[in-house]
Chain A
Amino acid sequence: SYVLTQPPSVSVAPGQTARITCGGNNIGSKSVHWYQQKPGQAPVLVVYDDSDRPSGIPERFSGSNSGNTATLTISRVEAGDEADYYCQVWDSSSDHEVFGGGTKLTVL
């Protein structure tokens, strides 16, 4: 089955840029989606199809995907961005949705 690998944690100071990676075999050939989840809340889609943002998501959130790594970039990080972030793809070989293990973003 397809595996997505994320770092368990990323820390960044307010105003700086956070980059959260998602590794997978030839993930560049797949569409990657990113979700933000704050404690006690449901996940929220923040980036879809590698780099597009749903309406209402700040432009500070962006994504890229190439080779074996997809990246969620959060610019000008704010305290309110502190959350768990999950990458996700559809694995057509197994007809399964696949989530990464999640990354806890800490704003210092």
Chain B
Amino acid sequence: EVQLVESGGGLVQPGGSLRLSCAASGFTFSSYEMNWVRQAPGKGLEWVSYISSSGSTIYYADSVKGRFTISRDNAKNSLYLQMNSLRAEDTAVYYCARNRYCSGGSCYGMDVWGQGTTVTVSS
């Protein structure tokens, strides 16, 4: 079964750090581009970051650039999101999501999602 399982969420104080993990199974993880997408309470989906299959190309939303770092370990079938300098507005459910495929500089949908992990930034 194709599956993504996030972990690492929790309660953290403003200015603190947290590292999220996403464990992939049931597919060849190293062949797929991956993303982190978040959803603040009662709000819509917000894309956070993208990483290419090899890890050589990375993009960030402006709201997290300079504070968050996406990475992956293809040997461990795992995706990560290191979150530093956390703010109250980073409070959200964080999902990892697989790109269906990417080609020619564009990506075409996210077909597999994890169940999400909750990050709460509060003092």
Residues of A within 8 A of B (CB): 1, 31, 33, 35, 37, 42-45, 48-49, 54, 84, 86, 88, 90, 92, 95-102
How does the 8 Å CB contact mask read for B82-123 relative to A, with 1 for contact and 0 for none? Answer: 000000000000010100100001111111011110000000
Residues of B within 8 A of A (CB): 35, 37, 44-47, 50, 59, 61-62, 95, 97, 100, 105-111, 113-116
What are the residues of chain A within 8 A of B110 when measuring CB–CB?
33, 35, 43, 45, 88, 97
CA distance A101 to B109 in the complex (A): 17
Dominant SS at the B interface?
A: strand
Q: Is the pair A99, B106 in contact by a Cβ cutoff of 8 Å?
A: no
Known contacts being A43-B113, A95-B59, A96-B61, is A31 close to B108, with CB within 8 Å? yes
What are the residues of chain A within 8 A of B105 when measuring CB–CB?
92, 95
What are the residues of chain A within 8 A of B61 when measuring CB–CB?
96
CA distance A106 to B61 in the complex (A): 31
Residue in contact with A97 in the complex, picked from B44, B107, B114, B115, CB distance below 8 Å: B107
Q: Is the pair B111, A54 in contact by a Cβ cutoff of 8 Å?
A: yes
CA distance A43 to B93 in the complex (A): 12
What are the residues of chain B within 8 A of A92 when measuring CB–CB?
105-106
Residue in contact with A35 in the complex, picked from B45, B59, B62, B108, CB distance below 8 Å: B45
What are the residues of chain B within 8 A of A49 when measuring CB–CB?
108-109
What are the residues of chain B within 8 A of A95 when measuring CB–CB?
50, 59, 105
